[in-house]
Chain A
Amino acid sequence: MNSAAPASPAASQPGWSRESGGQNRSGSGETGVSRRARIGDAVLGWACRLSAALIALMLVSLIVVLVHSAWPAIRQFGLGFLVSSDWRANEIERPLRDAAGKLVLRDGEPVMETLAPSFGALPVIWGTAVSSALALLIAVPISLSAAIFLVRVAPKLRIAGAASFLIEFLAAVPSLAFGIWALFVLAPFFQNHVGPVLQRVFEPIPGLRWMFYETVTVAGRTVERPIPLTGRDLFTGSLILAIMILPIVTSVSRDVLKAVPRTQIEGTLALGATWWQSCVAMLRYGRSGLLGAIMLGLARAAGETMAVTMVIGNNNQISPSPFAPAQTMASVLANEFGEATEGLHRASLLYVALILLTMSLVFNVVARRLVVGKVGGVSH
């Protein structure tokens, strides 16, 4: 993820760059260090270059392989793939009907039509976008508050180290662990306790009926049905995402806020700002860096797979309700890739993977520019 780590911190430290290494070399030659050491330097130098090239090569080959294997789907659906909401892997053979809905008959027998499998990514793009957005909505206020705490309150209490460690430790918990916790604790808790309360509060409010009812259209007949509150839905999926992106957003925000010059804060205080006002000023000063932190969180949320797959309900549909099951780009891959043997289905899944890769690449590049541009190098 951090393959494009900024070179600036390394370059800014004397003795690390190639030039200064060269100086050391000539210097050491004078003091009589053997030829072997110089060969060692050269070997190490080239090994480093090779490793760096390998990482770049991996990304390039990833894109090449994805484009190549997604090609049948790209050719068949083109960019329409992004806006089509059909996702059906099976062929359907059914009696042909005319525009009026009447069966088309030939020699008294109904004429059959075959619907080829059809794929479109809109439901999964929707699921990814909405779940990530909801996750940010929940996580960002908490993260920013925690970052302010870490920078301005914790040092006074002498717990900055411990608090930072705990937050960073959260980032090291495998996503499967979050998923299992969400499946066995969070989802049943929502089904039994939170869901019914929310329903009792919000359902009577006019205009919020869409939250608890869905319409199902089959064969032209539309049925409205109550959405069963299962705790496995877009909302729980977003909540678990929020928890998972908290550490990265918090720790990058902390670094951004730490880099705010002391004179800035002291200046605001000197002008008579309250503690709260000076915090706001701090946030404003670091806003582009903070935006970068949020973008990094967004990239992680969009790509997160296992935990989301376990609680989002895995239904390729677009429902306005947060309590309806949904599907994200990552979860559709986790669900379907293993058994997708049919060519176009597999290619379509790889097309989804390509979209996901492009998206996270864009998020990461933008985030890095924002963070690095402002703070001059972040250690994450």
Chain B
Amino acid sequence: MKLHLIGTIASATVCGAGAIAGEVRLSGAGATFPAPLYTRWVAEYEKGHPNVQIDYRSIGSGGGVKAIADKTVAFGATDAPLSEKEIGAMGGTDSVVQFPAALGAVVPAYNLAGVEKPLQFTGEVLVDIYLGRINSWDDPALQKLNPGVKLPKTPITPVFRTDGSGTTHVFTSYLGTQSPEFKAEVGVGKQVKWPLGQGGKGNEGVAAVIQQTAGAVGYIEHNYAVANKIAYGAVQNKAGKFVLATPESVSAAGDATSAELKGNVLRADAWNAPGEGAYPISAFTYIVLYKQLENIKNDNEASALLGYLRWSLGAGQKFSAEMHYAPLSEKVQQAALGALSSVTHRGKPVVIAP
């Protein structure tokens, strides 16, 4: 909510600056999760390109997909890759380009006074907590994972998100890979029916419940946990290692899926990725365009749009870690640039201004 507000103020200021001759204005809309990063990218890019103004509105992934399908924006942004149906609505695979722009992670955050070291979790233990089978922090299963940590006899309050969100989608997708029972009973999705626990709206809602409730554990976005100094744990990955979410470990998870990124509609599930250093609850966030840019008025705008997107995949990546997102690895970057290079403006190649 707060982030959204800042985004709105920022875009309002941008609009208020008034039109200078030769100026290009572009708009994008969609996912709230990468919005702070996109806002930063836009600000950095505009420094070097004063004639370009880009307005990113964080209205949620669903809204972003709808906006690009309605051609009301130059590009859409979404946490969940486009579904078959959504691609169909935009004219099929041949008229859509989708590529990852960054990676994010979801972390198990908790409120346990007196525990300094990050706790270690496995997917199985997280499933058991959310299904009501582990109810106290001193449960033997948790104690076994955390030798040397004195866990209190505090009851566990699982916290979930009540609004539909990419965060819930990533978290339930990961838990689904860890337990067929979880997948069959709770299922995977942007919003699911949790059998127990407390609900909060948005990252801020979940974080508020965690911070106010001794013994609470909930899933929130990594950057939000870092920014608000909420303690979070390491999660065991597919290779059996306990890994904390860091820009490197999340990038590594993305890198492990790079072989799946082919063609012009790229998608890969980065959760539960193989590799010693990969953080297991990671996911890409995507940008969506029309392959022929039929939603763009003139060559100038097309050139500016591609210029910005190329920059964000290249020079822009160095801001990702600073904002607590994960940059794309070399291989993923190449795949994304490859998808982007298939874009034309109504069939004509787009000349990108330096």
Give A contacts to B, CB under 8 Å.
Answer: 86-95, 115, 183-184, 187-188, 191, 214, 216-219, 223, 225-226, 228-232, 309, 313-317, 325, 327, 334-336, 338-341, 345
Q: Does A90 contact B135, Cβ atoms closer than 8 Å?
A: no
Closest B residue to A97 using CB positions: B184
A219-B185 Cα distance, complex, nearest whole Å:
6
Residues of A within 8 A of B198 (CB): 230, 232, 313-315, 325
Q: Mark B167-187, 1 if CB is under 8 A from A, else 0.
A: 000001000000001011111
Known: A90-B190, A232-B213, A338-B60. A218 touches B181 (CB 8 A): yes
A334 & B201 in contact (Cβ 8 Å cutoff):
yes
How distant is the Cα of A335 from the Cα of B162 in the complex, in angstroms? 6
**Cross-chain contact B157 with A225 (CB below 8 angstroms):** no
Complex CA distance for A336 and B191, rounded to whole angstroms = 9
Closest chain A CB from B252 CB (angstroms) = 29
Cβ–Cβ < 8 Å partners of B193 in chain A: 86-90, 316
A327 to B60, CA, bound (A): 24
Contact A315 to B196, CB < 8 A, known contacts A91-B189, A187-B212: yes
Contact of B66 with A by CB under 8 A: yes
CB <8 Å contact, B197 and A315: yes
Contact assessment for A226 and B191 in the assembled complex, using a CB-CB cutoff below 8 Å: no
Query: From residue 188 to 237 of chain B, which have CB atoms closer than 8 A to chain A?
Result: 188-201, 208-209, 212-216
Asked if B189 and A219 sit within 8 Å, CB to CB, the answer is no
Q: CB-CB < 8 A to A338: which residues of B?
A: 60, 163
Q: How far is the CA of A231 from the CA of B135 in the complex (A)?
A: 17
**12 A-B pairs whose Cβ atoms sit less than 8 Å apart in the complex:** A88-B193, A90-B191, A91-B187, A191-B213, A225-B135, A230-B198, A309-B201, A314-B201, A315-B196, A317-B196, A325-B197, A341-B60
Inter-chain CA distance A219–B195, complex, in Å, is 11
Nearest chain B CB to A190 CB, angstrom units = 11
Collect the chain A residues with CB atoms within 8 Å of residue B132's CB: 216, 218, 223, 225
B60 pairs with A230, CB closer than 8 A: no
Beta-carbon contact of A216 and B131 below 8 Å: yes
Q: How many residues of B contact A (CB 8 A)?
A: 43
In angstroms, Cα B181 to Cα A92, docked, is 11
Please name all residues of chain B whose beta carbon is closer than 8 Å to the beta carbon of A339 when the two chains form the complex.
60, 62, 163-165, 190-191
Assess whether B245 is interfacial by the CB under 8 Å rule: no
Are A95 and B188 in contact (CB-based, < 8 A)? no
B63 close to A (CB within 8 Å): yes
At the interface, yes or no: B133 with Cβ under 8 Å from chain A?
Answer: yes
Residue of A nearest to B191 (CB): A89
Indicate if the CB atoms of A89 and B190 lie closer than 8 Å.
yes
Complex CA distance for A229 and B198, rounded to whole angstroms: 11
Do B209 and A232 touch (CB < 8 A)?
yes
| With A219-B184, A325-B198, A334-B201: A89-B164 Cβ-Cβ less than 8 Å | yes
Q: Cα distance A94–B186 when bound, in Å? A: 10
A325 touches B189 (CB 8 A): no
B58 to chain A, nearest CB (A): 12
Q: Please measure, in the bound complex, the distance between the C-alpha atom of A366 and the C-alpha atom of B340, giving whole angstroms.
A: 64
Residue of A nearest to B208 (CB): A183
Kindly list chain A residues whose C-beta atoms are within 8 Å of the C-beta of B208: 183
Set B62, B162, B192: member contacting A90, Cβ < 8 A = B192
B156 within 8 A of A: yes
* Residue B240 lies at the interface, judged by CB distance under 8 Å to chain A: no
- Of all chain B residues, which has the CB nearest A338? B163
> Would A216 and B155 be within 8 Å (CB), given that A95-B184, A191-B214, A223-B133 are in contact?
no
Given known pairs A191-B214, A225-B132, A339-B190, the reply for A92 and B184 (CB within 8 Å) is: yes
| Shortest Cβ distance from residue B222 to the other chain A in the assembled complex, whole angstroms | 20
Contacts beyond the supplied A314-B200, A316-B193, A317-B196: 19 A-B pairs with Cβ under 8 Å: A87-B193, A88-B192, A92-B185, A93-B183, A94-B185, A183-B212, A188-B212, A214-B196, A218-B132, A225-B135, A226-B155, A228-B157, A228-B213, A232-B198, A232-B213, A335-B163, A339-B62, A341-B60, A345-B191
- Closest A-B pairs by Cβ, 7 of them: A90-B189, A314-B199, A341-B62, A94-B184, A92-B187, A339-B164, A216-B132
- CB neighbours of A184 from chain B (8 A): 212
| Chain B CB within 10 A, most for which of A95, A218, A334 | A218
Distance of A115 Cα from B193 Cα, bound (Å) = 13
Pick the most buried of B60, B183, B188, B197: most chain A CB atoms within 10 A of its CB. B197
Q: Closest CB of chain B to A332's CB: distance in Å?
A: 8
Q: Please determine whether A341 and B63 come into contact, CB atoms closer than 8 angstroms.
A: yes
